With several copies, the nearest count.
Chain A
C-alpha cells in the first residue's frame, strides 16, 4: 500500500497518554505514517501538523469528558487551513457522564467529523475504516 500520513493526538487539557501510545503502535503496524502530537494538544497543533505533513487524516482522541467543548469549530478551522477534504475521526469518552451513544455520535457527526468512536473501541476498527475511506487496497 502507498504511504498514507495521519496526524493523531489527545485534544484539549487531556493527559491520557497510554492509549495514545498504543494507538500509534497499532496504526504504524498497519502501515500508516503516523505523526503523533501527543497529549494536551490544541486544535491548532493538529491542523498545523496536518498542513506541514500534507496528511490524509486527523484522528482526535478525548478521554476526559471535555471533548464536546474542545472539538467545537474544529472542522471550520480545517476548512480555513485548506484541509476541507481531510478525513476527520474522533473517539473516546467524548462527554461528561454516561449518555446514550447515538445522540453523542450524531452531535459529533454534525460537527463535521467523518466517523465517531465510542469508548472501548479497539484499534482494528478505525484502521479498517481508514483504509476504506482512503481507498487503500490490501
Chain B
C-alpha cells in the first residue's frame, strides 16, 4: 500500500480492519455500531474532548497521571485511588510494554503470573488481552474521561479494543510511537498503521463520537529541543486531521528553563493553528509533560522537580499536565506515591491558576526562534514529499532532516547532539542535517559557546552527558565538577 497523506476510503479501511481484528481473539468482540451506541450513552463528564474544551475555555490546567497494572480489579482500584486521593481530573490507562510490542502471548503470561504472585508483574494494563468488556468495566467504575497511554508502533488492534471499550482519548502517532519506542520498524509502516488509527477515529467522528488524539510530545524525553518535537507533533497533527480526527492535543516535554518552556507551549499552539488552518472544526489543546528525564532518587528532591513542572505548566497555560511521582527514579510508583505527585501538582497549579508568565523580549525571541526552526524543518519536509507530508516525512528521516536525539530506531539518523546553554535552555550542540538557516545555527552556537566560556571548557559530548545526569543530581545545567 502506498503511503500518501490522503484520507482513506472507508472501503480500504474496512478491508484492513478485517485483518486487524483477527490479530488476537479479543478482536472479534469489537462491534463498531454497538460501540457508537455505547459512546452515545457515556456521560459527558467521561468524554475527554468535552473536558479539554471546557478547560481551554476557562484557562485552567487539568492534571493527569500515568497508571496501569495487570489485572482488571486492581487497575480499577488504582484509578479510583488516583481520582479520589490524587484529585486527578483525567485518567489514563498505561499499557504494558509487552502489549506495546504486540507480544500478546507474553502479556498473557504476565497476567497469569500476576494472579499467582498477587502483585502486578506487568508495568501496565494489557487492554488487548482483557478485551472490550473489561475496558468498559474500567470506564464504568469511574467518573472521569479515560485515555490510552502506551508507546505502541502498531497500535491498531489496541485502538479498536479500547475505543470500543469506551476510552475517549488515544495517545501516540506514527513517529512519536516509533522513533523512541522501536528499533527496527520502518517509518513508512508506522505511518500507515497510525493512518489506520486516525481513520478509525475519523470514522467515530463521522458518527458523532468525539475521540481525542494526542501525539506523544516528549519523544525520547531527553534534551529534545522544542523545534524537534514541535515538527513531529505538527506532522502527526496534520496526518490525523487528514483522516478526519477533530480533537487534537499537542504535547511538549518540560526542558526546565521557564522562558523556553513557556515559549515552547505558546509557539506549539500558534504553529499548530497555522498549519492546521485548512482543516475545519479541529479543536487544538496542549499537554505539558513534567520532566521526562532522570529524576533524583530522593523523594523530597523529586517533589521539587515535580512542583517546578507544575508551576511551568500553570504559567504556560497548558490545557493539561502529565504528572510524575516521587518514586520516578525507582520505576513504577505505588499508588500512594502516584497520588502524592498529583496532589503536589494540583496545589501548585491551583496557586498559580490566576497567574501567567508575562510577555517580555526574551520570551518573544524564544518563540520566534522556535517558530523559525520548526518552519525551516517543515518546509523541507513538504519539499521532500513534493507537497505530501507523509511521503516527505519518510524521506526527511532518511535525510536526517527530521531527527530525534537519543532514539533507538535505526530509521532515525541520530546526528543531533543537544546541550543546555548557560541559562539551562536546550540548544543544538550539533544540529546534524536539520535544514537550519545560518542565523539559527549561529544562535545556538553562540549560546553554547557562552556556556563553555563560563565553565572554562569546550562544548562537547561530556557536557551532554553532564546535562543528562544533572537533574537526577539536583541541578538543571550539568556543570563540570569543581
Contact = CB atoms under 8 A, between A and B. Distances in A.
A–B contact at 8 Å CB threshold (below): yes
Given A21-B406, A64-B97, A119-B329, A96 B122 contact: yes
Nearest to B185: A40
Q: Chain B's interface: helix, strand, loop or mixed, by majority? A: loop
A119 B331 contact: yes
Contact of B331 (A38, A40, A64): A64
A38 B406 CA distance: 12
Contacts of B408: 15, 17, 38-40
Interface string A34-62: 00001110000000000000000000000
Interface of B: 96-98, 100-101, 103, 106, 109-110, 113, 119-123, 151, 180-184, 220-222, 293-294, 297, 327, 329-334, 337, 406-408, 461, 465, 468, 472
Given A65-B123, A69-B121, A96-B123, A12 B97 contact: yes
B330 A119 contact: yes
Nearest to A101: B330
A17 B179 CA distance: 11
| Most-contacted residue by chain B among A19, A63, A66 (CB, 10 A) | A66
Contacts of A69: 106, 109-110, 113, 121
A98 B331 CA distance: 7
How many chain A residues sit at the interface, stated as a range, is 20 to 34
Contacts of A12: 97
Contacts of A97: 119-120, 331-334
Contacts of A93: 330-332
A97 B332 CA distance: 5
The 6 closest A-B pairs by CB, nearest first: A93-B331, A65-B123, A17-B408, A13-B97, A13-B101, A39-B408
Contacts of A40: 101, 182-184, 408
26 contacts: A13-B98, A13-B101, A13-B103, A15-B151, A15-B182, A17-B408, A18-B468, A21-B406, A22-B468, A38-B183, A39-B408, A40-B184, A40-B408, A63-B331, A64-B97, A65-B331, A66-B110, A66-B123, A69-B106, A69-B113, A93-B332, A95-B331, A96-B119, A96-B121, A97-B331, A120-B297
A119 B472 CA distance: 11
Contact of B334 (A15, A25, A98, A119): A98
Nearest to A12: B97
A119 B297 contact: yes
Contact of B220 (A14, A18, A96): A18
Contacts, number: 94
| Most-contacted residue by chain B among A18, A19, A39 (CB, 10 A) | A18
A71 B120 CA distance: 17
A76 B406 CA distance: 33
Given A13-B100, A17-B406, A69-B110, 9 more contacts: A15-B180, A18-B406, A18-B468, A38-B183, A66-B96, A68-B121, A69-B113, A96-B123, A98-B327
Nearest to A94: B331
Q: Chain A's interface: helix, strand, loop or mixed, by majority? A: loop
A98 B220 contact: no
B223 to A, nearest CB: 9
Contact of A14 (B97, B113, B407, B468): B97
A21 B120 CA distance: 29
A120 B327 CA distance: 12
B363 to A, nearest CB: 29
Contact of A96 (B120, B181, B406): B120
A12 B113 CA distance: 17
Contacts of B407: 17
B472 A120 contact: yes
A38 B113 CA distance: 27
Interface in A64-121: 64-66, 68-69, 93, 95-98, 119-120
Contacts of A64: 97, 123, 331
B299 to A, nearest CB: 10
A18 B100 CA distance: 19
Contacts of B184: 40
A21 B412 CA distance: 15
A67 B122 CA distance: 10
A10 B106 CA distance: 17
B98 A66 contact: yes
B114 to A, nearest CB: 9
B331 A120 contact: no
A43 to B, nearest CB: 13
A98 B398 CA distance: 41
Contacts of B406: 17-18, 21
A19 B329 CA distance: 13
Contacts of B472: 120
A12 B100 CA distance: 12
A17 B407 CA distance: 6
A25 B469 CA distance: 14
B481 to A, nearest CB: 12
A35 to B, nearest CB: 16
| Most-contacted residue by chain A among B97, B98, B101 (CB, 10 A) | B97
Contact of A98 (B122, B180, B333): B333
Nearest to B295: A120
Nearest to A70: B106
Nearest to B110: A69
A119 B333 CA distance: 13
A81 to B, nearest CB: 22
Contacts of A95: 331
